[in-house]
Structures are given as C-alpha cells and as structure tokens.
C-alpha cells in the first residue's frame, strides 16, 4: 500500500464512522422522543453536525480522487441499532456513550490532523474545523454526565467503535 493509499484509507475510515455517528444520534433521539424529551435538542444538533462531517469527508475523498466505502448505510444502520439500544438504558448511558465515542473520534482526528497538515493542507482545514465540533460534543456530554459513567456502556462503545473502524478498513 502506498502512502497515498494509507492516507485515503485513513479518511475513508473517518468518513464511514461519521456516517455511523449520524445513526447513533438519530437512534438516541428516537428513544429520547419517548423517554427524555429534553435531550431532543442537543441530540438533534449533534446529529446535524455529524451529517455535515460525513458530507465534508465525502468531499475530501472526492477531491483526492479516492474511493469511499461501498455501503455507508451499513454504518448508519449499525449506528442506529447501537444508538437505540444504549439510549434504552437511560440518559446517563447516552452521555456515557457520547463522552466515550467522541473521545475516540478526537484521537482519530488529532492523528489525522497531524498527518494531513503536511500532506494535504486543504483536507487539514476541514479536519481541524470538524475536530472543534467533536470537542464541543465531548465537552457538552461531560457536563451533562451526572456522577460516574456507566461502565458497561464504556466497554460497549469502545468495542462498537473498534468494529466500525475495522470494517471501514476492509470494505
């Protein structure tokens, strides 16, 4: 694999995971509409951001002439299933998941920003802007989390993110 291929793969993974994130917040919002309606507004805002991130990474891949993942709806569907399931355990689970997942996204985007600053300054600008949104998501969730995170949700979020990433590397 050439270094260009590796860079494109890196972007493709983030692209797919952004689609997954749209599903996660959509799924959380479905449950919130029934059980905790005060979360609809922040979840809708994060969902809108993730839609924008997904579109932006699609544009970056297109500008680089790189292929995207074959079935982005797979990540969306997985995200929805995950989002609904986690939210059924309550608002504390929603915020635990958000903190955990956005921390993973933050690390991925920091790594991408470091690499793309030199390799593709235009892509770097997009990544940097998106990173600020993700940090806001994480910080907002940390403020909303009352008491300790839900331990099993932390583990479930980490495993799910890892599966989503691995699938994006091969599909």
| Contact positions vs Fe ion (CB under 5 A) | 18, 50, 53, 134, 137
Comparing CB distances to Fe ion, the nearer of 5 and 55 is 55
82 to each of 67, 68, 103, 129, how far by Cα in Å?
26, 23, 17, 26
Q: Cβ 109 to Fe ion, closest distance in Å? A: 8
Cα 57 versus chain centre, distance: 12
Nearest alpha-carbon partner for 57 in 114, 1, 110, 8: 8
Cβ neighbours for 36, distance < 8 A, ≥ 6 positions apart: 90, 91
Q: Cβ 49 to Fe ion, closest distance in Å? A: 6
Comparing CB distances to Fe ion, the nearer of 1 and 78 is 78
As a whole number of angstroms, the distance between CA 123 and CA 95 comes to 30
Q: Cβ 41 to Fe ion, closest distance in Å? A: 16
Comparing CB distances to Fe ion, the nearer of 28 and 53 is 53
Q: Cβ 167 to Fe ion, closest distance in Å? A: 17
Which residue's C-beta sits nearest to Fe ion?
53
């Amino acid at each position: 694999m050439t270094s260009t291929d590796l860079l494109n793969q890196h972007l493709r993974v983030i692209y797919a995971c952004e689609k997954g994130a749209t599903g996660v917040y959509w799924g959380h919002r479905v449950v919130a509409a029934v059980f905790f309606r005060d979360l609809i507004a922040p979840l809708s805002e994060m969902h809108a951001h993730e839609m924008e991130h997904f579109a932006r990474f699609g544009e970056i891949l297109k500008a680089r002439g790189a292929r995207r993942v074959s079935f982005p709806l797979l990540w969306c569907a997985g995200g929805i299933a995950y989002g609904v399931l986690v939210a059924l355990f309550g608002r504390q689970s929603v915020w635990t998941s958000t903190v955990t997942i956005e921390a993973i996204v933050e690390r991925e985007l920091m790594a991408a920003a470091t690499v793309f600053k030199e390799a593709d300054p235009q892509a770097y600008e997009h990544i940097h802007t998106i990173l600020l949104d993700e940090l806001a998501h994480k910080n907002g969730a940390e403020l909303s989390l009352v008491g300790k995170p839900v331990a099993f949700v932390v583990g479930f979020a980490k495993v799910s993110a890892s599966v989503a990433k691995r699938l994006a590397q091969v599909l």
